Structure formats: structure tokens, C-alpha cells
Structure 1
Amino acid sequence: MADPILRWAGGKRQIIDDIVTRLPPSRDYNDYYEPFFGGGAVFFELKPSNAFINDINETLMDFYELFKNNLDYIIRENKKLDDALNRYSTLDAKKEFYYTRRREFNELQNGCCEDELREAVLFLFLNRTCFNGLYRTNEKGDFNVPMKKKVILTESIEEKLKEGHKVLQNAEITSQDFEYIEEEVEEGDLIFLDPPYISNSDARYFNQYSTGGFGRDRQIDVRDLALKLHHRGAYVMITNSDEAEDLYRSDGEFMENFRMMELEAARSINSDSSQRSQIGATDIIVTNSPQFWEQREFDAYR
């Protein structure tokens, strides 16, 4: 197994065992698809030999592509940033250094100059030093997450970065709408669908998908796509919040071919630790994996 190389809100590390034990073994599937990639916890856990990873967040996927091909440079430059940050003795001075780098990143994003590698270096730096690994932007598209008090040093995650880099060598990386896979997936492929969760809670900070958002119609598109891929002979798993349960149950044909189970998975978005378990506290797994078709826990929940 390998760990995700980025901290990413809504990641699946807390329920990774529940997910991977309900997926077919690697010998039973061909290509692996993950069109809502984010932090890619399932991908890094499975380490598939032939993968197609995608996310609508172009900045995120650009980072993975550059990281895939420029590991040593990105690590070396991040160590230099750590050294520069650690020269400051006060938290205020460290914050000023952070906000200067954040401003530089946003200027690069806004096209003041072309330096993709510098963007990738700063992307990793900001991910390590910002609050909870959030990627949040304002109306102008500028990254605006504040700094956390205790940063994660490059040296402490270097081995994780190197292991993740190895896994990425077997992946084709894209940034487009998730429905592109309908034209790509074939019989025997494995698809893991982790769309932005349906939630009535204050999840807007990590539940953003694109400018148009990800409403109920888009959730139905995910469900319908999963059913199409099932009929094509692919293995499919969806994760979502328990608030999506009725959406899946409302389609009789879907429920004839998929099983559903509930999981507890506290989220850690809120800055108030006492409130963190109230965001995304309950997940569901929906899958057509045949070896779990008769599992008692799935049948009981259905």
C-alpha cells in the first residue's frame, strides 16, 4: 500500500479498509478508473498496474502530472521553502512568509508568468502548511486558505512522496468532467466513483465541484452512469453520504444490481474540533462487486 501524497478534504483514509475489502482483487479486473480523484486514497492503496485518474480540478491534476515527472526537483525546492520558513522565530513572521508564497501561487495561477514547476512546488508547500489540506478559492479563483500553526515538513513525508510517485507512473492523468469514462470503460474494468457528497451540513468548503456546483441532477448522472457501466460488465463502487440513500433506492433497476451498506466516518473540516464529526458523519458504499453480493451486511442493509 501507499499513502496519498496530498492532504485532501473528503479523503477516504478513514474508511479505506471498508472500501478495498469490497472491491475485486487485482487479478479480477483490467483497467482502473477514478474520475473524482481528489487525494486518491483508494488509488494509492490499490496501486493498480494500469490506471486512469481524473478530477475536474485542473490545478490539482496538473500538480499530479508535474509531480509524476519531476519528483526530485519538487522535493528539493520544498525543502528549501521549509528552511526559509524555519528561519523565522515567531508565528506572525512565519505566517507572513506563508501568505507571500500563497500570493505568488495565485499570481502564477492568474497567468502573470509561465512557470508550471514553480506552481507545483508551491502547490505542495501550501498543501502541507495550510489548514486541514483544504483547497478553497474565492470568487476570483484565488486560493485563500489560511496557514495552520504546525506545518508538515517535507522531510517527514519524503518517503511517502517517493512511494506515491512510483504508483503514479502507472496512471494516465486527465482533468475533465467525470462522464468521459462512459466512452472509455470496457468489460472487466474497475471504476471507483467518489462524487461530491450530498449533504445538508456546512460542507460547502469541500463539496465544490465546479462553477455550476454538483446538485441532485449530477448525482443522478453518477448513478445512471454506474448502471450503464454495470451492464457493460464493469465493476463499480460509489461512495456518498447517507443522505444519498433515497436517490439510489428510487431507481428499482439500480437496486436490483447494486448493494448498499452504511459506514461511520467522521470528517475533519470544521475548525472547532467538537463539531467535526457532524460533517459527513455517515457514509454509504454502493457496489456491484459479485463476490460481496451475498454478504450478510449488504443484504441486511438493502
Structure 2
Amino acid sequence: MESNEELINFYQVLRDDLDSLLVDLRRHENTAEYYYKIRSAEPETLTSVQRASRLLYLNKTAYNGLWRVNRKGWHNVPFGRYKNPRIIDEDNLLGAHWLLQRARIKLADFSVVLETVRPGMFVYLDPPYYPLSKTSGFTSYTADSFSENDQCRLAEVFRQLDHSGCLIMLSNSDNQLIRELYKGYDIKVVMAKRAINCRADRRGPIAELVIRNYEL
């Protein structure tokens, strides 16, 4: 379940029409002029395969591989200027294609998960991470950014899933708000490598939280 329409479309195409996706991916070029042409294309004017191809192309060639949109929903990350980006990783795409065959992919607010769960089900929640500082406040994967209020709503959904008898795991940044929202649950700190930062000396392992309603 995901609220990013472009990402949902990508997974649906990857699951249902991999051959057409691979054909379209092969047309792309690694130049700034071509990049900005593809970036400026309006998704609504493209076929589902072209939209999926566009998303993967932008992800592989944008600066730091970042997907970010403005309030109008337009992708606004500059060209990455990579010498030889691996736009087509056929083995990984094929593996993901087969893994998705039994998946139900849905465009919806995360709260809708409450309508589909049963006791004993495992639920993994991976929201946009809460910003650690004012300058790290990126949550704009869609035109509607993920706010502090959304973090609070998600914590309430976590509690409702817990009361429903589900096994739940959630990832988020390590900060006081998130620790307070999930007080009483199993909270572990893990070190994760992150490459997205405008300063190279600030890239590397960063503390994140893995939160569960069960213990291993």
C-alpha cells in the first residue's frame, strides 16, 4: 500500500508487463538535454509502461538517485551527470517481477491497511522518515508531504494493528518524537548507510529505529 501514484504504477507494470518495460527502458539516453526532456513530461500524457520507464530512468540518472516532487507534483531533481548509470538491471528486474506475482499493489492511504488485515498477519510499515533537523526535512515523495500529523496517525494505526493481533515492524529515524510515539514497544537502533546528502563527508552510517510489537 502506497500513496505515490508513480511508484504504484511502476510496480504494477513490473509485475504485469516486464517485457514492454524493458523495451521502453532501452530507448533512454544519458544526457542532460534528454534527462530534462523526460523529467518535464507530464505522466498523465504517457502510457503506464512509459510512466514506469520514466520513473526508473529518473531514479537512475537524477542527482543522488533522489525522487522528489514540488507542491504541484513535478519532479524537480537535477541531472546527476553519472558517466555510466545502470538504467537496466535485467536480473534484478526479473527477480522482482516474479516476486510480485502474488502481490496485491494498491494506491491508498496507509490507514486502509486496517481494512485488510487478519490476526497473525505480518505488517511492515516504511513511512517517509521524520526529519532529524530543519535542513533534512525532505518528505516530498508526493505533492502532499508526510507531516508530523501523519506520523502521529501512523502510530495510531500501529497501535490498532497491535490490538488486532498482527505482528508489526516499522522503520523510522532515531529521534525523540518517534521514540515517544512508540513508547512501550520494542525499539532497536540499527546503523544504516545513506548516500543522499549534498556533502560527501556527511554520507555514511546513520542511526535509525526498528520498532516492533514483538521480540525475536
Note whether the superposition's TM-score is higher than 0.5. yes
SS in 1 for 2:146: coil
Of 30, 33, 53, which residue of structure 2 is paired with 1:96? 33
Q: Distance in 1 between matches of 2:150 and 2:77?
A: 27
Partner residue, 1:181: 113
Q: CA deviation at 1:152?
A: 2.2
Higher helix share: 1
SS in 2 for 1:124: helix
Partner residue, 1:75: 22
Q: Does 1:263 align with 2:200?
A: no
Partner residue, 1:204: 137
Q: Which amino acid counterpart does residue 125 of structure 1 have in structure 2? A: Y
Partner residue, 2:123: 191
Of 150, 162, 165, which residue of structure 2 is paired with 1:233? 165
Q: Which amino acid counterpart does residue 74 of structure 2 have in structure 1? A: D
Deviation larger for 196-205 or 184-193: 196-205
Q: Distance in 1 between matches of 2:112 and 2:54?
A: 30
Whether the aligned pair in 1 keeps the contact of 2:2 and 2:106 (CA below 8 Å) is yes
Whether the aligned pair in 2 keeps the contact of 1:75 and 1:154 (CA below 8 Å) is no
Unaligned runs of 5+ in 1: 1-53, 87-93, 250-254, 293-302
Q: Which has the larger radius of gyration?
A: 1
Q: Which amino acid counterpart does residue 169 of structure 1 have in structure 2? A: Q
Q: Does 1:62 align with 2:9?
A: yes
Q: Distance in 2 between matches of 1:130 and 1:213?
A: 20
Q: Does 1:282 align with 2:214?
A: no
Whether the aligned pair in 2 keeps the contact of 1:182 and 1:229 (CA below 8 Å) is yes
Change over 3 Å in CA distance of 1:209–1:131 after alignment to 2: closer
Normalization by structure 2: what TM-score?
Answer: 0.88
Q: Distance in 2 between matches of 1:117 and 1:55?
A: 19
Of 56, 64, 76, which residue of structure 2 is paired with 1:144? 76
Coordinate RMSD, CA, aligned: 2.1
Q: Distance in 2 between matches of 1:188 and 1:236?
A: 10
Of 58, 64, 78, which residue of structure 2 is paired with 1:132? 64
Partner residue, 2:179: 245
Q: CA deviation at 1:133?
A: 2.1
Q: Which amino acid counterpart does residue 155 of structure 2 have in structure 1? A: R
Q: Which amino acid counterpart does residue 95 of structure 1 have in structure 2? A: A
Whether the aligned pair in 1 keeps the contact of 2:69 and 2:142 (CA below 8 Å) is no
Q: Distance in 1 between matches of 2:149 and 2:71?
A: 24
